[in-house]
A = this chain, B = another copy of it.
Amino acid sequence: MNTNQLSVAVLCGGVGAARFLTGLLQVVPAANVTAIVNTADDMVLHGLSISPDLDTCTYTLAGQINHETGWGLTGETWQARSVLDLYGGESWFGLGDRDLGTHLYRTQRLSEGATLTEVTAEIAQAWGLELNILPMTDDTVRTRITLDTDETIDFQRYFVERRHADPVKAVHFDGADQATPSAAVLRAIDTCDVVVIAPSNPIVSIAPVLSLGGLREQVAARRRSTVVVSPIIGGSAVKGPAADLLRSLGHEVSAVGVAAIYADVAAHIVIDTADAELAARCREFDVTPTVTNTMMTEPDVAAHLAQVAIDAATHRG
C-alpha cells in the first residue's frame, strides 16, 4: 500500500503526540491524517475554556510552539500575567498574551453554541493546518487525581501547579461514563487504514480517550491495524510524569508495561533501540514489537518513526 493513499488516525496527548504528528505529516498527506486529542486535561480558569493538549498539537504543527517553555505560543509576552500578579491572582497556570487570544476565541465561540470540534477546526484552519484535529469528545470529561494523602485535585493543579511531584493513588475521568466520542472521531476510527497511539502518557493522555463510551471496543475490533509507539524509553518517560504514574498504579515502567496496557487494542508496538531486549516479552502479550530510534530529537527522526509505525500496522515491517 502506498503511504500517499493511507489514512491514519492518531490518538494524542500533548508534546509527544505533537512531535509524532510533525513526523507523520512528512510521510502521509495532511488531508489523510486525523488527530484525536485528549481533552480531559481541559479546564476553565478565569472564565476561559483552556484545552492544553489541543493547543500543543495545533501550535506545534503550525510551527508556533514556544520552545523556551515547551507550551504556548512563540513570541509570547506576559503583560496580562503581570497585572494578574499585581492583584495576587491565580497565576500558576502560565497564560501568555498571545495564547490568551486562543482561549478568548474558543470561549466566545463555545458561548455562542459552537462545539469544541467546530472551534478546534476553525483554529487549525486559521493557522493553515490541513490535517483534521479533533477533540476526543464534545462532552466534558475531567481528569481528577487522588493523591496518596487522599486529597483529590484537578489534573492541571497536580500537573502544573504542583509540578507532578505528589505521589498518586488513583486517576479518575469525571464525566467519562456519560461522554461519547464525537461523530467525527467515530468516523475517523471507522474509516482509517491505521490507528496510531502516539507516544503520550498512557494514564492521563490516552486512557481518557479510550475511556469514552464504545471507543476502546471500536479500536480493539481493529487491533491488527493499530500500533502504539512506546512513550517509555529505558524505563523512563522523555517528559512528564508517565513513569511515576505507571509505577504508582502498579504497571511495569517499560515498553513491556506499555504493550500490556494496550494489548487489547494494539497488536503492534514500536519500542526504542534502548529497549531491544524487551521485544520478546512484548510478544508474550500477543503484541508484535518493532525496534527503532523513538527519541524524536529531530524532525527526521520523527518522520522515520512515523513511517516505521505505519509499516508495522500495515504489516510491511
Contact = CB atoms under 8 A, between A and B. Distances in A.
Interface of A: 44-49, 73, 76-77, 79-90, 95-105, 107-109, 111, 122-123, 126-127
A89 B111 contact: no
28 contacts: A44-B47, A44-B111, A46-B103, A46-B104, A46-B111, A47-B104, A47-B107, A48-B48, A48-B107, A73-B83, A76-B79, A79-B96, A79-B97, A80-B98, A80-B101, A82-B98, A83-B100, A83-B102, A84-B101, A86-B101, A86-B127, A87-B122, A87-B123, A89-B104, A89-B105, A90-B108, A97-B97, A100-B100
* Most chain B beta carbons < 10 A, residue from A102, A103, A105, A107: A105
Contacts of A101: 79-87, 89
Copies in the complex: 2
Contacts of A122: 87-88
Given A105-B87, A107-B47, A108-B89, A100 B123 contact: no
Chain A facing B: main interface SS:
helix
